Amino acid sequence: MNIEDWRAEIDSVDDELLSLINKRARLAVEVGILKRAAGIPITDPEREREVLTRLSRVNDGPLDEEAVQKLFRQIIHESRQIEIRLSEVATTPSSSREPTQDFISHQFSEDVS
Judge whether 75 and 24 are in contact, CB under 8 Å: yes
Instruction: Report the C-alpha gap between 97 and 104 in whole angstroms.
Output: 11
Asked if residues 86 and 107 have their Cβ atoms less than 8 Å apart, the reply is: no
Query: Contact, 86 vs 29, CB < 8 A?
Result: yes
Asked, for residue 75, whether it belongs to a domain, the answer is yes
Judge whether 85 lies within some domain. yes
Domain coverage including residue 87: 3-107
pLDDT, tens digit (0-9, with 9 covering 90-100), for 15-68: 999 999 999 999 999 998 899 899 999 899 999 999 999 999 999 999 999 999
Rg, C-alpha atoms of the chain: 17
Res 108 pLDDT > 90: no
Q: With respect to residue 24, please indicate whether it lies within any of the assigned structural domains.
A: yes
Q: Is residue 112 part of a domain?
A: no
pTM, 2 dp: 0.75
Q: Please give the average per-residue pLDDT across 96-112, as a whole number.
A: 53
Helices (H), 43-64: 45-58
- Write the CATH number for 51: 1.20.59.10
